[in-house]
Amino acid sequence: MFTILASICAILVFWFLFRNGYKNYWKKRNVKQVDGDLFMKFLFGKQALSEIYKDVYNTYPNEPYVGAVMNREPALVLRDLKNIQAVLLGDFESYHSRGINFNDSDLLADNILSISDYPRWKSIRQKMTPLFTSSKLKSMVNIIERSARDFVKMMENHKNMRDDPFTAMYTFTTASIGASVFGIDTHMKDTMDSPFLEMSFKSVEPSFLANLKVTISVMFPTLFKILKLKVFGDHEEFFIGAVKKVLAARKNNPQPVNDFMGLCLDLQKAGKIRDNATGYEVEPTDELMAAQAFFFFIAGADTGANTMHFTLLELASNPDVLKKLHEEIDKKFQETNELSCDVIENLVYLEMVLSETLRKYPPIGVLSRKCTRDTVLPVGNLKVEKGVSVITPVYAIHRDETIYPNPDKFDPERFTPSNAANIPAFGYMPFGEGKRICIGARYARIQVKVGLVYLLRRFTLKPQKYIPKAFEKSTFSIREPDAKYELILRDNVG
């Protein structure tokens, strides 16, 4: 397989170099256009794709959009927030697809994060959304809190974990999501002993091979299918097997459990998933349920770990912010030892700190949509043809000085209730926006808050100045897993 992919890579390079593609596509339409192919710049460069789009965004400050070529196909980088709102919400049915092609045999890719088939996506998403209602989330807080307690014990007892803080954060988010999906075994001594850690790491870790597979799926979907390539194939046997085992055990247990597998079992008992508006039906097989659970992992573990990681880096760089946050957390623990949903929501300063972290380092740094039918953008009255990729550069918007003055400064005061109310619509999108906004966003915020509260109750941070050296070369996220900070045990707390 490696030989085949290496040969394809050579063909791709040749094809890129000698095919003009849509070199002047946007210039012919009187739209400012950047030179070169942006994906080639990403594939053979050192920047994250979000950073490349930020450079494009900043180069044309007076344009509502900027034309580009991506994978030798026309792409449009959006700058005007009203156009972004049209793409993600108002004219959603013209932009519902993420433009990613998967093989039908890639079972774990059949999830609401990846599905481009609109009726299928709509039907499954409608049935998955109830997992993240307020009542369901309240029942999950106890699971997350148990995981956070075990996490802090691990950090206390294993100093080597503090030497690699990103891995430690990843261990917490993976373990807590695993417990939220599959429940906590009453005989489990430590939730941090998660069997899903290695799988979670490998499924999202950027690599040339992973980027190449995505390139082939976008540019040569027929070839992708002929070669039967899979993006998540390495994890199928392990993960689907785990889901099947849990579902089989639950079917013989009449007592309901409020976790992800409980919802999946309820869906299976109800029969086919049906969209009443269209009549479209989906069979809720074990494999389909496994794909949704897998989406929970890949969408949650990495983004949660990154958010905790960047929050701690910024707190170490801003001692005044850290001191104020410690005071809020300590006061709350003096009032109660239980972190209910209501208690978490009342940690106002923590919410401000988290929101600022998500602004500076959005877990989803870029949103990509494929136009599925000819349409027109409202600002600029530009016709967008079917097949054009439309890019929302979230990372660039979050660092736009016209929206966030002094954008590189870490300033939680931007998110006081009064200040946050002045942020324009679609000017803050850490979990996406519109109809494909991440359905697990509320869970993610609760998970990160609980993890940080327990960690900062027991630890503080050695002051340091964090200046990002280079973000990891990722297609959608902002990551710097090698960045370090020193966690120090606090006296007379815990």
Looking at every residue in the chain, the average pLDDT score rounds to 86
- pTM: predicted TM-score of the whole model, two decimal places: 0.89
The pLDDT of residue 382 is: 96
The 10s digit of each residue's pLDDT in 30-62 is: 999 999 889 888 888 899 999 999 999 999 999
Mean predicted confidence (pLDDT) in 127-140: 79
- Is 80 exceeded by the pLDDT of residue 325? yes
The 10s digit of each residue's pLDDT in 226-261 is: 767 766 777 788 888 888 888 888 887 767 676 788
Tokens, residue 202: 């490998």
- Is 50 exceeded by the pLDDT of residue 494? yes
- Percent pLDDT > 90 in the chain is 47
The pLDDT of residue 186 is: 45
- Percent pLDDT > 70 in the chain is 85
The pLDDT of residue 194 is: 66
| Closest by Cα among 89, 45, 54, 19 to 393 | 54
- Is 80 exceeded by the pLDDT of residue 199? no
On whether the CB atoms of residues 391 and 53 are closer than 8 A, the answer is: yes
Q: pLDDT confidence of 133, banded at 50, 70, 90?
A: confident
Minimum mean pLDDT among 115-124, 183-192, 317-326, 390-399: which range? 183-192
CA distance 298 to 221: 23
Minimum mean pLDDT among 161-165, 182-186, 356-360: which range? 182-186
| HEC sequence for the chain | CHHHHHHHHHHHHHHHHHCCCCCCCCHHHCCCEEEEEHHHHHHCCCCCHHHHHHHHHHHCCCCCEEEEEECCEEEEEECCHHHHHHHHHHCHHHCCECCCCCCCCCHHHCCCCCCCCHHHHHHHHHHHHHHHCHHHHHHHHHHHHHHHHHHHHHHHHCHHHHHCHHHHHHHHHHHHHHHHHHCCCCCCCCCCCCCCHHHHHHHHCCCHHHHHHHHHHHHCHHHHHHCCCCCCHHHHHHHHHHHHHHHHHHHCCCCCCCCHHHHHHHHHHCCCEECCCCCCEECCCHHHHHHHHHHHHHHHHHHHHHHHHHHHHHHHHCHHHHHHHHHHHHHHHHHCCCCCHHHHHCCHHHHHHHHHHHHHCCCCCCEEEECCCCEECCCCCCEECCCCEEEECHHHHHCCCCCCCCCCCCCHHHHCHHHHCCCCCCCCCECECHHHCCCCHHHHHHHHHHHHHHHHHHEEECCCCCCCCCCCCCCCCCCCCCCCCCEEECCCCC
- Who has greater pLDDT, 219 or 309? 309
- Is 70 exceeded by the pLDDT of residue 379? yes
The 10s digit of each residue's pLDDT in 414-458 is: 999 999 999 999 999 999 999 998 888 888 999 999 999 999 999
The pLDDT of residue 264 is: 85
The 10s digit of each residue's pLDDT in 63-99 is: 999 999 987 789 999 999 999 999 999 999 999 988 7
The 10s digit of each residue's pLDDT in 270-307 is: 888 888 877 888 888 888 888 888 888 878 888 999 99
* Ordered domains of the chain (ranges, CATH): 2-489 (1.10.630.10)
Tokens, residue 430: 């850490």
CA distance 172 to 170: 5
- Who has greater pLDDT, 188 or 468? 468
- Who has greater pLDDT, 228 or 395? 395
Mean predicted confidence (pLDDT) in 335-350: 84
- Who has greater pLDDT, 117 or 254? 117
Q: Which amino acid is at 466?
A: Y
The pLDDT of residue 6 is: 56
Q: pLDDT confidence of 482, banded at 50, 70, 90?
A: very high
- Is 70 exceeded by the pLDDT of residue 8? no
CA distance 180 to 258: 9
